[in-house]
Structure 1
Amino acid sequence: MKKLLLLLLLSTSFAFSQQTKFQKIDSLLTFLNTNNKFMGELSIIEKGKMVFSKAYGFADVESGKKLDVNTKLKIGSITKTFTATMIMQLVDEKKLTLDTKLSKFYPKIPNAEKITIHHLLHHRTGIPDFLNDDPTVGEFIYVENKKEDLVKRIENYTSAFEPNSQHKYSNSNYNLLGYIIEDITKKSFSENLNTRIIKKIGLKNTLFPTKIDITKNEGYSYFFDGKNWAKVPEWHSSLSFAAGAMASTTSDLNLFLEALLEGKLTSKSSLEQMKSMEDYYGKGLIIAPFEDRKFYGHTGGIENFRAAAGYNPEDKTGFAIIVNGDNYNRNDIMIGVLSLFYGSDYSFPEFKQFEVSKAVLEKYVGTYKSAAFPMKIKVFVENGNLLAQATGQSSFPLTAKSETEFVFEAAMIQLIFGENKMNFKQGTMAFEFVKE
């Protein structure tokens, strides 16, 4: 009897521990949502079981339609992991090799005879990014981009470096891989996605959408303008295509990465190829470390959607987040979630804003340009808040850290203002802008 009682106590203690862990994660996301820092979904998979799945906020603010765990949201560059998986399936089927040259499909692209499928997968081509390196991209975001037109633009770019001499992330690489999938199979990217991955592993809420449809439980993305959540205009899906146009749920992302990394979608050798890093990037996969753990996955961002998903094959645990209300750094959210899940020290963030007078804010209003940056940045005041907007992009709110320093934490952007000038920092990039 004593042994049975002890077992019952241990079982109850374990269940309470598990419940407390997930309650803390829920409290963090509820706290962020209540403070207008986050809307979106999070799910956690552990040893094949979905142990946490919850949604916060709205799919459509205007109609009041709330998110639920089946609401499909755009995943941005996590699309690249799906694209890379299908490429490796074609390699397994001997319809393609990693040494196949780009010139076999698109010979007019500069250095096509030197660029291989391997180079495309690892972003080692020197092909400029049609999204971030082309100053005319604003003309193409909201209109249909036919395959032949986008390929023509890529053909006219000047190569940034000799193929395989370095790594530089470029969405052009993965759109070309998507076109190659279509060229080889004679089927659309969407058809390949459905047969090769979605139906094969039973995903319920993953698709290649043409346009967001609320009636099909799909959601929009938003930014917080200081008072309200403001809808971000939808891009045309043909632009981001195989590099970033897909939509999914966090549960489906966990199921996908679990299936991929447990060897259910490619051969063992192809999976090892995907996991092999060159300059911190594999074939459609990156490694996200947390303490002594390694999660294989990807991150994504499009419009104001932000996503991240990773799976640890050692403890068979996966985490996925999709943000559709972007007003706080996605990585900081995931650090909080992982810390609470694994029992690491963590304190909820404090939200305090430095007060800057309207007169000072007005001094920063204007359009800024930099010879080293392809787009101009417009700075303006709206509803008493300072906002910034790059050419052809959505505007984003700025939080004051001092009278001269402002940040947009969600994208790790820092703006420091001086007399008719502005220093722009994002990650490791830094540019000096001058006011026109």
Structure 2
Amino acid sequence: MKKIVLIALLFLTFTGYTQERFQRIDSLLTYLNNNNKFMGSVSLREGNEVVFSKAYGFADEENKIEATNTTKYKIGSITKTFTATIIMQLIEEKKLHLESKLTKFYPKVQNAEKISIYDLLHHRTGIKDYINQDSLSVEDFATNDLKTVIYNKINNYESIFEPGSKFLYSNSNYYLLGGIIEKLTKESYASNVENRIIKKLGLKNTYYPNDKINSSKKESYSYIFNGTNWEKAPEWGNNVAFAAGEIMSTPDDLTEFMFALFNGKLVKNTSLEAMKDLKDGYGIALMQFPFGERKFYGHTGGIENFRAVVGYYPTDNLGVSLIVNGDNFNRNDIMIGILSIYYKIPFPFPNFEKIDDTVLQKYVGTYASPEIPLKITVSTKNGELIAQATGQPSFPLTPKSDTEFVFQTAGVEMVFEENKFTLKQGGQKFKFTKE
């Protein structure tokens, strides 16, 4: 009897802590939403069970339609992982090979005879990015066949480098892969996504859209905070992103997709291993996101002002997805907060109370330390403290108090005194003095 009681007590304690953990994640996201830093949705999946799922803010701010965990968001480049999965299925069906050349499908692309499917999947083609290194005109958007316009642009690009020689992310690669899927299957890309992934997994809130956003269909707009209000971001036209970034989904569906991908429901293990094989940090539409000693596989996405990420950690069988439709805070910092709380790592909530500028000005200057060979310059911008180490990008400092500031992404804490500060990172402390 005592053993049964003890086991029951342990179970209750674990269950209580689990709920406390998710309540704290909810508190963090609610706090960010209440401070106009974030609108969006999150999902945490353990195995095939969603253990936390919630949406924050509005899907349609103008009409005050609140988001729910079935609200659909644009996922941007996470679409590439769907596209790559279909390509790997076609390879398994012997309809295609990683070594197959682009010349078979798009012979007018420069170096098509040298560019392989492997190169397209790994962004090693030398093909210019039609989105980030080019622009679409008003006339382009007005055409009835935007895809043909974009394919013609890609056909006419001069190659940036020799195919296979290096990595350069280019949306053109996955636009072409979408066309290859259509040519091989004689079906639309949308139909392939529907039949090969969505129906197979029973995803309820994922699809390739064929019209503009409609909030009455539980679709979300994206927003930019103007300092006072959330402003709706302009929409892109249909087929602008195509197989490189067009799909709409939810965090729940994205974590289910990743669970299925890593557990043999969509491709064979040999295909998955090929997808996980990183070259210059990029696999076949998979990247690694480190969180301490843990390595999550997944992808990020950005389109209009949507920001999305999905990750899967095989060791813990943990899936996590965050989609942001109101972007006024670093998405990576939000994810660090979610995972820190999940893994019981201390995580101080950011402090959005403005510190008096006269206090901040006392910290402005260049600091040096006899312990490490770099200098740190501290400045202010828009009422916030900014730090920059020699030869490195600047980073914002979030206040914990009038004297303590943190940069959570790198685990940095800086404690100021008069004309000096102590930098804490990774269990080490370094004394800096103002020059």
TM over 0.5: yes
Looking at structure 2, the residues matched to 137 and 413 of structure 1 have their Cα atoms a distance apart, in angstroms, of: 34
- Aligned ranges 1:50-199 → 2 under 5 Å: 50-135=50-135, 140=140, 146-199=146-199
Instruction: Work out whether 1:343 is the aligned partner of 2:325.
Output: no
Choose the corresponding residue for 2:382, options 400, 409, 416: 400
Q: Secondary structure at the match of 1:182?
A: helix
Q: Secondary structure at the match of 2:32?
A: helix
Q: Identity across aligned pairs (percent)? A: 55
- Structure 1 length-normalised TM: 0.81
Letter of the 2:72 counterpart: K
The answer to whether the Cα contact below 8 Å between 2:140 and 2:146 also exists between their aligned partners in 1 is no
Structure number, greater radius of gyration? 2
Correspondence for 2:267: 266
Looking at structure 1, the residues matched to 354 and 114 of structure 2 have their Cα atoms a distance apart, in angstroms, of: 52
Correspondence for 1:15: 15
Letter of the 1:303 counterpart: E
Looking at structure 2, the residues matched to 169 and 142 of structure 1 have their Cα atoms a distance apart, in angstroms, of: 27
Summarize deviations over 1:172-212 as a string: whole Å, max 9, x none.
00000001000110100000000000000110000111221
Change (3 A) 1:141 1:11: farther
Q: How many Å apart are 1:3 and its aligned residue? A: 2.0
Summarize deviations over 1:296-315 as a string: whole Å, max 9, x none.
11000000100000111111
The answer to whether the Cα contact below 8 Å between 1:43 and 1:50 also exists between their aligned partners in 2 is yes
Unaligned runs of 5+ in 2: 358-379, 388-392, 397-435
Looking at structure 2, the residues matched to 308 and 292 of structure 1 have their Cα atoms a distance apart, in angstroms, of: 19
Change (3 A) 1:116 1:162: same
Residues matched between the structures, number:
371
Change (3 A) 1:112 1:35: same
Looking at structure 2, the residues matched to 212 and 355 of structure 1 have their Cα atoms a distance apart, in angstroms, of: 42
Letter of the 2:106 counterpart: Y
Q: Secondary structure at the match of 2:45?
A: strand
The answer to whether the Cα contact below 8 Å between 2:70 and 2:205 also exists between their aligned partners in 1 is yes
The answer to whether the Cα contact below 8 Å between 1:142 and 1:235 also exists between their aligned partners in 2 is no
Change (3 A) 1:219 1:135: closer
Instruction: Work out whether 1:303 is the aligned partner of 2:285.
Output: no
Q: How many Å apart are 1:146 and its aligned residue? A: 2.4
Change (3 A) 1:267 1:162: same
Letter of the 1:203 counterpart: L
Q: How many Å apart are 1:399 and its aligned residue? A: 6.6
Letter of the 1:333 counterpart: I
Letter of the 2:382 counterpart: A
Correspondence for 1:367: none
Farther-moved stretch of structure 1 (343-352 vs 42-51): 343-352
| Over 6 Å off, 4+ runs | 412-415
Q: Secondary structure at the match of 1:238?
A: coil
Change (3 A) 1:111 1:41: same
Q: How many Å apart are 1:86 and its aligned residue? A: 0.3
Letter of the 1:45 counterpart: R
Q: Secondary structure at the match of 2:337?
A: helix
Q: Secondary structure at the match of 1:283?
A: coil
The answer to whether the Cα contact below 8 Å between 1:262 and 1:313 also exists between their aligned partners in 2 is no
Q: How many Å apart are 1:267 and its aligned residue? A: 1.4
Change (3 A) 1:346 1:142: farther
Looking at structure 1, the residues matched to 394 and 125 of structure 2 have their Cα atoms a distance apart, in angstroms, of: 27
Q: How many Å apart are 1:237 and its aligned residue? A: 2.4
Looking at structure 2, the residues matched to 137 and 45 of structure 1 have their Cα atoms a distance apart, in angstroms, of: 42
Correspondence for 1:283: 284
Looking at structure 2, the residues matched to 307 and 143 of structure 1 have their Cα atoms a distance apart, in angstroms, of: 29
Change (3 A) 1:39 1:266: same
The answer to whether the Cα contact below 8 Å between 2:140 and 2:149 also exists between their aligned partners in 1 is no
Looking at structure 1, the residues matched to 131 and 394 of structure 2 have their Cα atoms a distance apart, in angstroms, of: 18
Q: Provide the alpha-carbon RMSD of the alignment.
A: 2.5
Correspondence for 2:293: 292
The answer to whether the Cα contact below 8 Å between 1:111 and 1:163 also exists between their aligned partners in 2 is yes
- Structure 2 length-normalised TM: 0.81
Summarize deviations over 1:237-263 as a string: whole Å, max 9, x none.
211110001110000000000000111
Farther-moved stretch of structure 1 (188-197 vs 287-296): 287-296
Instruction: Work out whether 1:31 is the aligned partner of 2:34.
Output: no
Correspondence for 2:371: none
Q: How many Å apart are 1:97 and its aligned residue? A: 0.4
Unaligned runs of 5+ in 1: 357-397, 407-411, 416-436
Q: Secondary structure at the match of 2:311?
A: strand
Change (3 A) 1:143 1:343: farther
